[in-house]
Structure 1
Protein backbone atom coordinates (compact mmCIF):
# COMPACT_ATOMS: atom_id res chain seq x y z
CA UNK A 1 0.00 0.00 0.00
CA UNK A 2 1.27 3.55 -0.69
CA UNK A 3 2.32 5.70 2.22
CA UNK A 4 -0.01 8.37 3.54
CA UNK A 5 0.93 11.92 4.52
CA UNK A 6 -1.88 12.12 7.08
CA UNK A 7 -1.06 12.40 10.78
CA UNK A 8 -0.57 9.04 12.51
CA UNK A 9 -3.57 7.78 14.51
CA UNK A 10 -3.63 7.41 18.26
CA UNK A 11 -2.43 3.97 19.33
CA UNK A 12 -3.51 1.47 21.93
CA UNK A 13 -1.03 -1.37 22.36
CA UNK A 14 -1.92 -4.57 24.21
CA UNK A 15 0.87 -6.96 25.17
CA UNK A 16 -0.77 -10.33 24.60
CA UNK A 17 2.22 -12.30 25.84
CA UNK A 18 5.58 -11.40 27.36
CA UNK A 19 7.26 -14.76 27.94
CA UNK A 20 10.08 -16.64 26.31
CA UNK A 21 9.59 -19.66 24.04
CA UNK A 22 8.59 -22.04 26.88
CA UNK A 23 6.10 -19.67 28.43
CA UNK A 24 6.01 -19.14 32.20
CA UNK A 25 5.29 -21.19 34.30
CA UNK A 26 7.57 -23.70 32.61
CA UNK A 27 6.13 -27.21 32.45
CA UNK A 28 7.36 -29.35 35.34
CA UNK A 29 9.17 -26.49 37.10
CA UNK A 30 8.63 -25.61 40.76
CA UNK A 31 10.96 -22.59 40.99
CA UNK A 32 9.84 -19.47 42.84
CA UNK A 33 8.74 -17.74 39.61
CA UNK A 34 6.82 -20.70 38.20
CA UNK A 35 4.99 -21.09 41.53
CA UNK A 36 4.52 -17.36 42.12
CA UNK A 37 1.03 -16.15 43.05
CA UNK A 38 1.69 -12.84 41.30
CA UNK A 39 -0.19 -12.83 37.93
CA UNK A 40 2.61 -10.66 36.51
CA UNK A 41 4.77 -13.81 36.62
CA UNK A 42 2.45 -15.73 34.26
CA UNK A 43 3.76 -15.15 30.75
CA UNK A 44 2.34 -16.52 27.51
CA UNK A 45 4.48 -16.52 24.38
CA UNK A 46 5.21 -13.07 22.93
CA UNK A 47 2.63 -11.30 20.77
CA UNK A 48 1.22 -7.81 20.53
CA UNK A 49 -2.07 -6.28 19.35
CA UNK A 50 -2.10 -2.68 18.11
CA UNK A 51 -5.22 -0.59 17.64
CA UNK A 52 -4.32 2.28 15.31
CA UNK A 53 -7.48 4.32 14.94
CA UNK A 54 -10.01 1.82 13.53
CA UNK A 55 -7.32 -0.68 12.48
CA UNK A 56 -6.32 -3.79 14.37
CA UNK A 57 -2.80 -5.11 13.74
CA UNK A 58 -1.32 -8.29 15.19
CA UNK A 59 2.41 -8.72 15.68
CA UNK A 60 3.18 -12.46 15.68
CA UNK A 61 0.72 -15.33 16.09
CA UNK A 62 2.32 -17.90 18.33
CA UNK A 63 0.97 -21.10 19.90
CA UNK A 64 -0.96 -19.11 22.55
CA UNK A 65 -2.73 -16.82 20.06
CA UNK A 66 -6.22 -18.29 20.47
CA UNK A 67 -6.07 -17.93 24.25
CA UNK A 68 -4.64 -14.43 23.93
CA UNK A 69 -7.29 -13.31 21.45
CA UNK A 70 -10.07 -14.52 23.75
CA UNK A 71 -8.56 -12.73 26.74
CA UNK A 72 -8.21 -9.47 24.84
CA UNK A 73 -11.58 -9.77 23.05
CA UNK A 74 -9.92 -9.40 19.65
CA UNK A 75 -12.54 -9.38 16.92
CA UNK A 76 -10.73 -7.46 14.19
CA UNK A 77 -7.35 -7.96 12.55
CA UNK A 78 -6.50 -6.00 9.41
CA UNK A 79 -2.95 -7.33 9.04
CA UNK A 80 -0.27 -9.40 10.75
CA UNK A 81 3.40 -8.45 11.03
CA UNK A 82 5.75 -11.36 11.72
CA UNK A 83 9.07 -10.76 13.46
CA UNK A 84 10.54 -14.09 12.30
CA UNK A 85 9.71 -17.74 11.64
CA UNK A 86 10.39 -19.40 15.03
CA UNK A 87 7.63 -21.65 16.40
CA UNK A 88 6.76 -19.44 19.36
CA UNK A 89 5.94 -16.57 16.98
CA UNK A 90 4.07 -18.28 14.11
CA UNK A 91 2.46 -21.52 15.31
CA UNK A 92 -0.95 -19.89 15.77
CA UNK A 93 -1.40 -18.89 12.12
CA UNK A 94 -4.23 -21.36 11.64
CA UNK A 95 -6.16 -19.84 14.56
CA UNK A 96 -6.76 -16.78 12.39
CA UNK A 97 -9.43 -18.76 10.49
CA UNK A 98 -12.47 -17.63 12.54
CA UNK A 99 -11.72 -14.02 11.61
CA UNK A 100 -12.73 -14.87 8.04
CA UNK A 101 -16.18 -16.23 8.89
CA UNK A 102 -17.78 -12.77 8.65
CA UNK A 103 -15.18 -11.10 6.43
CA UNK A 104 -13.68 -13.20 3.66
CA UNK A 105 -11.28 -10.54 2.40
CA UNK A 106 -7.67 -11.77 2.41
CA UNK A 107 -5.52 -10.66 5.35
CA UNK A 108 -2.01 -9.45 4.46
CA UNK A 109 0.87 -10.85 6.50
CA UNK A 110 4.09 -8.83 6.36
CA UNK A 111 7.58 -10.13 7.03
CA UNK A 112 11.12 -10.11 5.72
CA UNK A 113 11.80 -12.05 2.51
CA UNK A 114 13.66 -14.72 4.51
CA UNK A 115 10.74 -15.27 6.89
CA UNK A 116 8.24 -15.31 4.02
CA UNK A 117 10.22 -17.99 2.19
CA UNK A 118 10.31 -20.23 5.28
CA UNK A 119 6.61 -19.73 6.05
CA UNK A 120 5.63 -20.62 2.48
CA UNK A 121 7.57 -23.87 2.78
CA UNK A 122 6.48 -24.71 6.32
CA UNK A 123 2.80 -23.82 5.82
CA UNK A 124 2.30 -24.79 2.19
CA UNK A 125 -1.31 -25.76 2.92
CA UNK A 126 -1.98 -22.08 3.72
CA UNK A 127 0.48 -20.15 1.55
CA UNK A 128 1.03 -22.61 -1.32
CA UNK A 129 -0.44 -22.62 -4.83
CA UNK A 130 -3.28 -24.94 -3.78
CA UNK A 131 -4.27 -23.98 -0.25
CA UNK A 132 -6.37 -26.33 1.83
CA UNK A 133 -10.10 -25.48 1.58
CA UNK A 134 -11.10 -23.51 4.63
CA UNK A 135 -7.55 -22.44 5.51
CA UNK A 136 -7.04 -18.89 6.73
CA UNK A 137 -7.07 -16.52 3.76
CA UNK A 138 -3.75 -14.90 4.57
CA UNK A 139 -1.29 -13.61 1.99
CA UNK A 140 2.43 -13.13 2.51
CA UNK A 141 4.05 -9.84 1.55
CA UNK A 142 7.82 -9.48 1.93
CA UNK A 143 8.76 -5.90 2.84
CA UNK A 144 11.99 -4.00 3.33
CA UNK A 145 10.89 -0.37 3.14
CA UNK A 146 8.22 1.66 4.92
CA UNK A 147 4.68 0.78 3.79
CA UNK A 148 1.07 1.49 4.80
CA UNK A 149 -1.52 -0.84 6.30
CA UNK A 150 -5.13 -0.02 5.46
CA UNK A 151 -8.47 -1.49 6.49
CA UNK A 152 -9.51 -5.02 5.52
CA UNK A 153 -13.08 -4.09 6.33
CA UNK A 154 -14.16 -0.79 4.79
CA UNK A 155 -11.10 0.77 3.10
CA UNK A 156 -10.80 3.47 5.76
CA UNK A 157 -7.95 4.20 8.10
CA UNK A 158 -4.24 3.71 7.59
CA UNK A 159 -1.00 3.48 9.49
CA UNK A 160 2.54 3.71 8.12
CA UNK A 161 4.84 0.87 9.20
CA UNK A 162 8.64 0.79 9.15
CA UNK A 163 10.45 -2.59 9.26
CA UNK A 164 13.47 -2.55 11.62
CA UNK A 165 16.14 -5.16 10.71
CA UNK A 166 17.67 -6.87 13.76
CA UNK A 167 19.78 -9.93 14.56
CA UNK A 168 18.77 -12.88 16.81
CA UNK A 169 21.87 -15.07 16.95
CA UNK A 170 22.27 -16.26 13.36
CA UNK A 171 18.63 -15.52 12.57
CA UNK A 172 17.64 -12.17 11.03
CA UNK A 173 14.51 -10.76 12.68
CA UNK A 174 12.30 -7.76 12.05
CA UNK A 175 11.14 -5.17 14.53
CA UNK A 176 8.19 -2.98 13.56
CA UNK A 177 7.71 0.75 14.02
CA UNK A 178 4.21 2.22 13.97
CA UNK A 179 4.74 5.98 14.16
CA UNK A 180 5.62 6.80 17.79
CA UNK A 181 5.76 3.12 18.85
CA UNK A 182 8.18 0.27 18.05
CA UNK A 183 8.02 -3.43 18.89
CA UNK A 184 11.49 -5.01 19.00
CA UNK A 185 11.58 -8.61 20.14
CA UNK A 186 13.97 -11.52 19.63
CA UNK A 187 17.24 -9.71 19.16
CA UNK A 188 20.69 -9.54 20.65
CA UNK A 189 21.90 -6.87 18.23
CA UNK A 190 20.27 -3.88 16.53
CA UNK A 191 22.64 -2.31 13.98
CA UNK A 192 23.27 1.42 13.80
CA UNK A 193 21.27 1.72 10.57
CA UNK A 194 18.23 0.26 12.33
CA UNK A 195 18.66 2.45 15.40
CA UNK A 196 18.55 5.44 13.04
CA UNK A 197 15.14 4.25 11.80
CA UNK A 198 13.90 4.60 15.40
CA UNK A 199 14.76 8.27 15.70
CA UNK A 200 11.99 10.15 17.52
CA UNK A 201 10.11 7.05 18.70
CA UNK A 202 8.27 7.64 21.98
CA UNK A 203 7.65 4.13 23.32
CA UNK A 204 9.45 0.86 22.62
CA UNK A 205 8.81 -2.72 23.62
CA UNK A 206 12.18 -4.45 23.73
CA UNK A 207 13.56 -7.98 24.09
CA UNK A 208 15.15 -8.58 27.53
CA UNK A 209 15.46 -12.26 28.41
CA UNK A 210 17.00 -12.18 31.91
CA UNK A 211 19.85 -10.72 33.96
CA UNK A 212 22.47 -13.23 32.80
CA UNK A 213 23.94 -12.86 29.28
CA UNK A 214 22.53 -14.97 26.46
CA UNK A 215 23.92 -15.46 22.93
CA UNK A 216 20.70 -14.60 21.05
CA UNK A 217 18.75 -12.23 23.31
CA UNK A 218 19.47 -8.98 25.13
CA UNK A 219 20.14 -9.33 28.84
CA UNK A 220 18.68 -6.66 31.11
CA UNK A 221 21.91 -4.66 31.09
CA UNK A 222 22.16 -4.91 27.31
CA UNK A 223 18.52 -3.95 26.88
CA UNK A 224 18.89 -0.90 29.13
CA UNK A 225 21.94 0.14 27.11
CA UNK A 226 19.99 -0.30 23.86
CA UNK A 227 17.05 1.65 25.28
CA UNK A 228 19.43 4.52 26.02
CA UNK A 229 20.76 4.43 22.45
CA UNK A 230 17.25 4.55 21.03
CA UNK A 231 16.18 7.31 23.41
CA UNK A 232 12.47 6.54 23.75
CA UNK A 233 10.49 8.19 26.51
CA UNK A 234 9.30 4.83 27.87
CA UNK A 235 10.62 1.29 27.42
CA UNK A 236 8.91 -2.01 28.28
CA UNK A 237 10.82 -5.31 28.42
CA UNK A 238 9.39 -8.59 27.12
CA UNK A 239 10.40 -12.18 26.29
CA UNK A 240 11.36 -12.90 29.92
CA UNK A 241 12.26 -16.33 31.27
CA UNK A 242 11.33 -17.92 34.58
CA UNK A 243 14.57 -16.45 35.98
CA UNK A 244 12.68 -13.15 36.29
CA UNK A 245 10.48 -12.42 39.31
CA UNK A 246 8.43 -9.42 38.22
CA UNK A 247 8.27 -7.42 41.46
CA UNK A 248 11.94 -7.96 42.23
CA UNK A 249 13.27 -7.02 38.78
CA UNK A 250 10.87 -4.12 38.25
CA UNK A 251 12.28 -2.44 41.37
CA UNK A 252 15.81 -2.60 39.91
CA UNK A 253 15.05 -0.86 36.62
CA UNK A 254 15.41 2.85 35.80
CA UNK A 255 12.29 4.98 36.20
CA UNK A 256 11.62 5.08 32.44
CA UNK A 257 12.11 1.33 31.93
CA UNK A 258 9.54 -1.26 33.02
CA UNK A 259 8.86 -4.95 32.78
CA UNK A 260 5.98 -5.66 30.45
CA UNK A 261 3.35 -8.18 31.48
CA UNK A 262 0.51 -10.05 29.82
CA UNK A 263 -2.49 -7.78 29.32
CA UNK A 264 -0.61 -4.51 29.76
CA UNK A 265 -2.14 -1.73 27.66
CA UNK A 266 -0.18 1.31 26.53
CA UNK A 267 -1.92 4.30 24.97
CA UNK A 268 -0.12 6.88 22.86
CA UNK A 269 -1.99 9.97 21.74
CA UNK A 270 -1.31 11.22 18.23
CA UNK A 271 -0.42 14.61 19.72
CA UNK A 272 3.35 14.50 20.38
CA UNK A 273 3.05 16.45 23.63
CA UNK A 274 0.94 13.70 25.20
CA UNK A 275 2.90 11.22 27.30
CA UNK A 276 2.10 7.50 26.92
CA UNK A 277 0.00 5.95 29.66
CA UNK A 278 -0.25 2.36 30.78
CA UNK A 279 -2.97 0.58 32.68
CA UNK A 280 -1.72 -1.61 35.55
CA UNK A 281 -5.21 -3.05 36.10
CA UNK A 282 -4.97 -5.01 32.86
CA UNK A 283 -3.07 -7.92 34.44
CA UNK A 284 -4.76 -11.17 33.47
CA UNK A 285 -4.35 -14.72 34.66
CA UNK A 286 -5.76 -18.09 33.64
CA UNK A 287 -8.09 -18.09 36.61
Structure 2
Protein backbone atom coordinates (compact mmCIF):
# COMPACT_ATOMS: atom_id res chain seq x y z
CA UNK A 1 0.00 0.00 0.00
CA UNK A 2 1.31 3.41 -1.02
CA UNK A 3 0.32 6.47 1.02
CA UNK A 4 0.88 10.02 -0.24
CA UNK A 5 0.17 13.09 1.87
CA UNK A 6 -1.51 15.42 -0.61
CA UNK A 7 -1.88 18.22 1.91
CA UNK A 8 -0.87 18.79 5.52
CA UNK A 9 -2.10 22.33 6.13
CA UNK A 10 -5.29 23.96 7.33
CA UNK A 11 -7.43 26.98 6.62
CA UNK A 12 -6.89 28.09 10.22
CA UNK A 13 -3.89 30.28 10.82
CA UNK A 14 -3.01 30.64 7.12
CA UNK A 15 -2.89 34.23 5.84
CA UNK A 16 -4.88 34.95 2.69
CA UNK A 17 -1.98 37.05 1.46
CA UNK A 18 1.74 36.78 2.20
CA UNK A 19 2.43 38.21 5.63
CA UNK A 20 6.19 38.20 4.95
CA UNK A 21 6.87 35.97 7.95
CA UNK A 22 9.57 33.30 7.97
CA UNK A 23 7.13 30.63 6.76
CA UNK A 24 5.96 32.78 3.85
CA UNK A 25 9.57 33.52 2.92
CA UNK A 26 10.81 29.97 3.42
CA UNK A 27 12.47 28.29 0.45
CA UNK A 28 11.87 24.87 2.03
CA UNK A 29 9.02 23.24 0.01
CA UNK A 30 7.95 21.43 3.18
CA UNK A 31 6.65 24.78 4.44
CA UNK A 32 4.20 25.04 1.52
CA UNK A 33 1.14 23.32 2.97
CA UNK A 34 -2.16 22.82 1.17
CA UNK A 35 -5.34 21.70 2.95
CA UNK A 36 -5.30 18.20 4.43
CA UNK A 37 -5.90 15.18 2.23
CA UNK A 38 -4.28 11.80 1.71
CA UNK A 39 -4.01 9.47 -1.29
CA UNK A 40 -4.05 5.72 -0.68
CA UNK A 41 -3.14 3.32 -3.46
CA UNK A 42 -3.94 -0.30 -2.70
CA UNK A 43 -3.52 -3.30 -4.96
CA UNK A 44 -6.80 -2.65 -6.75
CA UNK A 45 -8.10 0.81 -5.81
CA UNK A 46 -7.05 4.46 -5.66
CA UNK A 47 -8.68 6.21 -2.71
CA UNK A 48 -8.56 9.80 -1.48
CA UNK A 49 -9.63 10.84 2.00
CA UNK A 50 -11.24 14.31 1.81
CA UNK A 51 -11.36 16.64 -1.19
CA UNK A 52 -10.68 20.13 0.09
CA UNK A 53 -10.41 23.40 -1.84
CA UNK A 54 -6.94 22.42 -3.14
CA UNK A 55 -8.08 19.04 -4.53
CA UNK A 56 -7.57 19.85 -8.22
CA UNK A 57 -4.03 21.12 -7.78
CA UNK A 58 -3.17 18.27 -5.43
CA UNK A 59 -4.22 15.72 -8.05
CA UNK A 60 -2.18 17.50 -10.72
CA UNK A 61 0.86 17.92 -8.47
CA UNK A 62 0.85 14.26 -7.46
CA UNK A 63 0.31 13.08 -11.03
CA UNK A 64 -2.78 11.06 -10.10
CA UNK A 65 -4.07 9.24 -13.20
CA UNK A 66 -6.83 7.18 -11.62
CA UNK A 67 -9.41 7.68 -8.89
CA UNK A 68 -11.93 5.17 -7.60
CA UNK A 69 -13.26 6.65 -4.38
CA UNK A 70 -13.35 9.62 -2.03
CA UNK A 71 -13.96 8.97 1.65
CA UNK A 72 -15.05 11.87 3.85
CA UNK A 73 -14.10 12.48 7.46
CA UNK A 74 -16.61 15.31 7.92
CA UNK A 75 -18.41 18.12 6.14
CA UNK A 76 -16.32 21.22 6.83
CA UNK A 77 -15.46 23.20 3.69
CA UNK A 78 -11.71 22.60 3.97
CA UNK A 79 -12.49 18.88 3.56
CA UNK A 80 -15.25 18.83 0.92
CA UNK A 81 -15.00 21.98 -1.24
CA UNK A 82 -13.17 20.30 -4.13
CA UNK A 83 -15.78 17.66 -4.93
CA UNK A 84 -16.72 19.32 -8.24
CA UNK A 85 -13.19 18.71 -9.53
CA UNK A 86 -13.74 14.98 -9.94
CA UNK A 87 -15.29 15.80 -13.34
CA UNK A 88 -12.05 15.30 -15.31
CA UNK A 89 -11.77 11.80 -13.82
CA UNK A 90 -15.35 11.08 -14.91
CA UNK A 91 -14.53 12.27 -18.42
CA UNK A 92 -11.14 10.63 -18.87
CA UNK A 93 -11.85 7.36 -17.04
CA UNK A 94 -15.48 7.12 -18.20
CA UNK A 95 -16.71 6.00 -14.81
CA UNK A 96 -18.51 7.27 -11.75
CA UNK A 97 -16.52 8.01 -8.60
CA UNK A 98 -17.63 6.27 -5.41
CA UNK A 99 -18.32 8.63 -2.50
CA UNK A 100 -18.31 7.27 1.06
CA UNK A 101 -19.84 9.49 3.71
CA UNK A 102 -22.14 9.46 6.70
CA UNK A 103 -25.73 10.58 6.23
CA UNK A 104 -24.94 13.90 7.91
CA UNK A 105 -22.05 14.56 5.54
CA UNK A 106 -24.22 13.57 2.59
CA UNK A 107 -26.81 16.14 3.67
CA UNK A 108 -24.09 18.79 3.69
CA UNK A 109 -22.89 17.75 0.23
CA UNK A 110 -26.46 18.02 -1.07
CA UNK A 111 -26.66 21.57 0.25
CA UNK A 112 -23.25 22.61 -1.07
CA UNK A 113 -23.49 20.82 -4.41
CA UNK A 114 -27.23 20.69 -5.02
CA UNK A 115 -26.78 20.50 -8.79
CA UNK A 116 -25.01 17.14 -8.46
CA UNK A 117 -28.07 15.66 -6.76
CA UNK A 118 -30.79 17.44 -8.77
CA UNK A 119 -33.51 15.34 -10.41
CA UNK A 120 -32.87 16.98 -13.76
CA UNK A 121 -29.32 16.03 -14.68
CA UNK A 122 -27.30 18.88 -16.15
CA UNK A 123 -24.68 17.70 -18.71
CA UNK A 124 -21.14 17.51 -17.41
CA UNK A 125 -21.84 17.54 -13.68
CA UNK A 126 -19.80 15.24 -11.42
CA UNK A 127 -20.87 11.62 -11.74
CA UNK A 128 -20.87 9.92 -8.35
CA UNK A 129 -22.19 6.82 -6.61
CA UNK A 130 -22.90 7.58 -2.96
CA UNK A 131 -22.37 4.97 -0.25
CA UNK A 132 -23.53 5.51 3.32
CA UNK A 133 -21.07 4.70 6.08
CA UNK A 134 -21.29 4.89 9.85
CA UNK A 135 -19.11 3.21 12.45
CA UNK A 136 -19.18 -0.25 10.85
CA UNK A 137 -16.22 -1.54 8.88
CA UNK A 138 -16.62 -1.39 5.11
CA UNK A 139 -14.71 -2.39 1.99
CA UNK A 140 -13.53 -0.50 -1.05
CA UNK A 141 -12.54 -3.25 -3.44
CA UNK A 142 -10.41 -5.68 -1.46
CA UNK A 143 -9.42 -3.11 1.18
CA UNK A 144 -11.16 -2.95 4.55
CA UNK A 145 -11.60 0.46 6.16
CA UNK A 146 -12.26 0.77 9.88
CA UNK A 147 -14.10 4.02 10.78
CA UNK A 148 -12.74 5.68 13.92
CA UNK A 149 -15.25 7.88 15.77
CA UNK A 150 -13.58 11.00 17.19
CA UNK A 151 -14.75 14.41 18.37
CA UNK A 152 -13.94 17.69 16.61
CA UNK A 153 -15.03 19.86 19.55
CA UNK A 154 -18.75 18.88 19.66
CA UNK A 155 -18.90 17.50 16.12
CA UNK A 156 -18.63 13.70 15.73
CA UNK A 157 -16.33 12.93 12.81
CA UNK A 158 -14.39 9.93 11.52
CA UNK A 159 -10.79 8.90 11.20
CA UNK A 160 -9.91 5.69 9.38
CA UNK A 161 -7.67 2.70 9.89
CA UNK A 162 -6.57 0.71 6.84
CA UNK A 163 -4.47 -2.33 7.69
CA UNK A 164 -1.57 -0.99 9.78
CA UNK A 165 -2.13 2.63 8.76
CA UNK A 166 -4.29 5.09 10.73
CA UNK A 167 -5.35 8.55 9.56
CA UNK A 168 -6.88 11.09 11.95
CA UNK A 169 -7.50 14.75 11.32
CA UNK A 170 -9.41 17.45 13.23
CA UNK A 171 -9.44 15.49 16.48
CA UNK A 172 -9.75 17.12 19.87
CA UNK A 173 -10.93 14.15 21.94
CA UNK A 174 -10.77 10.46 21.12
CA UNK A 175 -12.95 7.92 22.95
CA UNK A 176 -11.27 4.92 24.56
CA UNK A 177 -13.16 2.55 22.24
CA UNK A 178 -11.54 4.30 19.28
CA UNK A 179 -8.10 4.24 20.91
CA UNK A 180 -8.45 0.46 21.26
CA UNK A 181 -9.14 0.16 17.52
CA UNK A 182 -5.99 2.14 16.72
CA UNK A 183 -3.55 0.21 18.88
CA UNK A 184 -1.13 -1.93 16.90
CA UNK A 185 -1.02 0.46 13.95
CA UNK A 186 2.46 0.90 12.46
CA UNK A 187 2.03 4.29 10.81
CA UNK A 188 -0.11 6.96 12.47
CA UNK A 189 -1.01 10.31 10.94
CA UNK A 190 -2.67 12.68 13.37
CA UNK A 191 -3.53 16.37 13.49
CA UNK A 192 -1.47 18.92 15.44
CA UNK A 193 -2.73 22.41 14.70
CA UNK A 194 -0.42 24.58 16.79
CA UNK A 195 1.45 24.81 20.07
CA UNK A 196 -1.19 26.95 21.79
CA UNK A 197 -4.41 25.42 23.12
CA UNK A 198 -7.30 25.19 20.68
CA UNK A 199 -10.96 24.42 21.23
CA UNK A 200 -11.36 21.83 18.47
CA UNK A 201 -7.91 20.53 17.47
CA UNK A 202 -5.01 18.70 19.11
CA UNK A 203 -2.08 20.88 20.00
CA UNK A 204 1.42 19.59 19.29
CA UNK A 205 1.76 18.43 22.91
CA UNK A 206 -1.61 16.65 22.80
CA UNK A 207 -0.76 14.95 19.52
CA UNK A 208 2.60 13.79 20.87
CA UNK A 209 1.00 12.42 24.03
CA UNK A 210 -1.60 10.58 21.96
CA UNK A 211 1.02 9.18 19.59
CA UNK A 212 3.19 7.97 22.46
CA UNK A 213 0.18 6.27 24.03
CA UNK A 214 -0.62 4.48 20.76
CA UNK A 215 3.01 3.49 20.28
CA UNK A 216 3.10 3.39 16.48
CA UNK A 217 6.44 2.74 14.84
CA UNK A 218 6.21 6.16 13.16
CA UNK A 219 3.83 9.07 13.61
CA UNK A 220 3.47 12.03 11.25
CA UNK A 221 1.70 15.23 12.26
CA UNK A 222 -0.74 16.91 9.88
CA UNK A 223 -3.36 19.69 9.77
CA UNK A 224 -0.55 22.11 10.59
CA UNK A 225 -1.26 25.81 11.05
CA UNK A 226 0.85 28.47 9.36
CA UNK A 227 1.71 29.87 12.79
CA UNK A 228 3.35 26.58 13.80
CA UNK A 229 6.60 27.84 12.29
CA UNK A 230 9.11 26.42 9.86
CA UNK A 231 9.31 22.70 9.25
CA UNK A 232 12.98 22.34 10.14
CA UNK A 233 12.53 24.18 13.43
CA UNK A 234 9.52 22.14 14.51
CA UNK A 235 11.24 18.89 13.58
CA UNK A 236 14.06 19.54 16.02
CA UNK A 237 11.61 19.67 18.92
CA UNK A 238 9.90 16.33 18.20
CA UNK A 239 10.66 12.85 19.59
CA UNK A 240 12.64 10.53 17.31
CA UNK A 241 9.69 8.52 16.02
CA UNK A 242 7.35 11.50 15.58
CA UNK A 243 7.88 13.67 12.53
CA UNK A 244 6.18 16.61 10.92
CA UNK A 245 4.30 15.60 7.81
CA UNK A 246 4.67 17.58 4.60
CA UNK A 247 2.91 17.77 1.26
CA UNK A 248 4.17 15.07 -1.07
CA UNK A 249 5.50 12.74 1.61
CA UNK A 250 5.25 9.16 0.37
CA UNK A 251 5.00 6.20 2.75
CA UNK A 252 4.92 2.53 1.83
CA UNK A 253 3.36 -0.12 4.00
Which band: TM-score by shorter chain? over 0.9
Question: Which residue in the other structure is 1:143 paired with?
Answer: 133
| The 10-residue stretch of structure 1 (134-143 or 73-82) with the greater mean CA deviation from structure 2 | 134-143
Residue 168 of structure 1 pairs with residue 152 of structure 2: yes
Residue 81 of structure 1 pairs with residue 68 of structure 2: no
Q: CA RMSD of the aligned region, Å?
A: 1.5
| The 10-residue stretch of structure 1 (236-245 or 115-124) with the greater mean CA deviation from structure 2 | 115-124
Question: Which residue in the other structure is 1:280 paired with?
Answer: none
**Equivalent residue in structure 2 for 1:253, among 228, 238, 246:** 238
Q: Give the total of aligned pairs.
A: 251
5+ residue gaps, structure 2, are: none
**1:20-59 aligned within 5 A:** 20-21=10-11, 26-59=16-49
**Equivalent residue in structure 1 for 2:251, among 266, 279, 282:** 266
Q: Tell me the secondary structure at the aligned position of residue 102 of structure 1.
A: helix
The verdict on how the C-alpha distance between 1:25 and 1:44 changes in structure 2, with shifts beyond 3 A counting, is farther
Q: Tell me the secondary structure at the aligned position of residue 223 of structure 1.
A: helix
**1:111-260 aligned within 5 A:** 111-144=101-134, 145-150=136-141, 158-244=142-228, 245-260=230-245
- 2:3/2:251 contact within 8 Å kept: yes
- Supply the distance in 2 between the matched residues of 1:209 and 1:22 (Cα, whole angstroms): 8
The verdict on how the C-alpha distance between 1:127 and 1:121 changes in structure 2, with shifts beyond 3 A counting, is same
TM-score by length of 2: 0.94
- Supply the distance in 2 between the matched residues of 1:84 and 1:59 (Cα, whole angstroms): 10
- Supply the distance in 2 between the matched residues of 1:67 and 1:40 (Cα, whole angstroms): 16
- 1:112/1:174 contact within 8 Å kept: no
The verdict on how the C-alpha distance between 1:197 and 1:29 changes in structure 2, with shifts beyond 3 A counting, is same
TM-score by length of 1: 0.83
- Supply the distance in 1 between the matched residues of 2:31 and 2:46 (Cα, whole angstroms): 27
Q: Shift of the alpha carbon at 1:131? A: 4.0
- 1:24/1:34 contact within 8 Å kept: no
- Bigger fraction of residues in helix: 2
- 2:18/2:24 contact within 8 Å kept: no
Q: Tell me the secondary structure at the aligned position of residue 175 of structure 1.
A: strand
Q: Shift of the alpha carbon at 1:96? A: 0.5
| The 10-residue stretch of structure 1 (116-125 or 174-183) with the greater mean CA deviation from structure 2 | 116-125
- Supply the distance in 1 between the matched residues of 2:33 and 2:231 (Cα, whole angstroms): 11
Deviations 1:33-53 (CA, angstroms, capped at 9, x unpaired): 122121111101111101111
- Supply the distance in 1 between the matched residues of 2:193 and 2:143 (Cα, whole angstroms): 30
- Supply the distance in 1 between the matched residues of 2:28 and 2:93 (Cα, whole angstroms): 39
The verdict on how the C-alpha distance between 1:193 and 1:142 changes in structure 2, with shifts beyond 3 A counting, is same
